[in-house]
Amino acid sequence: MTFTNDELTEFARTADPGSPVIAETDEGFRFTFGREYDDRGVMEHVADADCYGKLGWPEPVSRWEPHGQTRRPDGFTGAARLFGATPMHDAIWWEPYRDGKKVYDSPDEVRFMRELLDWGFVGVWVKVERRESCGHWHECAHESLWGIESPTIGAGNYEYLAEIYSDLISEAEHSMKEAS
């Protein structure tokens, strides 16, 4: 049950949320490769991994005027940026990741964070089915990984998704061996 890296990359490129890719093998197996939007929000994922920096909602300047002027959240420095609202999210502050005195806020990093806020994270999954003697398909393994940066960010991370698909196939094979 092997696929080439090029095949897996193409599966990653063409599998869209709600529209998985199906591939059958000569050995009587059917693989379904899927990608779905992660149900955890960007705020949760960024809070769990400091490599992205941190995010925070604008805070009111005065508690007496909650809908008036806002300021950056407590603990955010002058390196923080306010991203305006888009159709995908409200206005939000981003404090870039910092390593000592180095602040990771290059134009590419700012663009990446803006796109991450817009497109979020995804999960990928592989379902393996075996053809039964009566011709029906029987699911024998289902593996997934969530919290992956959306491939619609920048030039896309389809090669990385192909690596994940390869790992998920290995895990599915292991699960199938344990079950038999």
Q: How confident is the model at residue 66 (pLDDT cuts 50, 70, 90)?
A: low
Q: How confident is the model at residue 26 (pLDDT cuts 50, 70, 90)?
A: confident
Q: Do residues 80 and 91 make contact, with C-beta atoms less than 8 angstroms apart?
A: no
What is the model's pLDDT at position 73? 94
Domains of the chain, residue spans = 5-39+120-179, 42-118
What is the model's pLDDT at position 1? 60
Q: What is the pLDDT of residues 119-173, one digit of tens each?
A: 999 999 999 999 888 889 999 999 999 999 998 887 789 999 999 999 999 999 9
Right CATH for 5-39+120-179 from 3.10.450.700, 1.20.1540.10, 2.60.120.330, 1.10.10.10:
3.10.450.700
Which residues neighbour 160 within 8 Å (Cβ) at sequence distance 6 or greater? 148
Task: Report the C-alpha gap between 38 and 96 in whole angstroms.
Answer: 23
What is the pTM (predicted TM-score) of this model? 0.83
